[in-house]
Amino acid sequence: MLRTCPSCGGVNRIPASHLTDTGRCGRCKTALPPVAAPIEITDAATFDDIVGHATAPVLVDFWAAWCGPCKMVAPEVARAAADLAGRAIVLKVNTERLPALAARYKVQSIPNFVVFRGGAVVRQQPGAMRHSDLEHLVAA
């Protein structure tokens, strides 16, 4: 995954296994904190790489742009990502753009939240949730 340094604007390649770690910019050596925002997934290969190599739990929000509850829960997902920074990774998967990925996990209603550990599904919960409930879903 590519991350831009907030200090110098340098682009850094971060392996999926280190998304929850504090790193350092390759150009200016400024500390790069763990990912604290949801990562928008644009292809199945990136999804598989992150879920398969992450050393921390991965919370996935399956959503669609036309879905009202998905829009309402988006700030809660962002807050959960910030609160879980360094302890979990939060991904967002648009089911309209990646329908095969949603079908793989039998997503039939959205929003739908799936927690992975070690590349395997450990929890799945459909419906809108508050950030505290999302954090509890990851911790359980």
Question: Which of 5, 8, 25, 67 is flagged as catalytic?
Answer: 67
**29-34 long-range CB contacts below 8 Å, 24 or more apart?**
30/5, 30/6, 32/3, 32/5, 33/85, 33/86, 34/85, 34/86
Q: Is 28 a catalytic residue?
A: no
Nearest to 78 by CA among 96, 59, 65: 59
Question: Which of 5, 25, 28, 70 is flagged as catalytic?
Answer: 70
Q: Is 67 a catalytic residue?
A: yes
Catalytic (active-site) positions: 67, 70
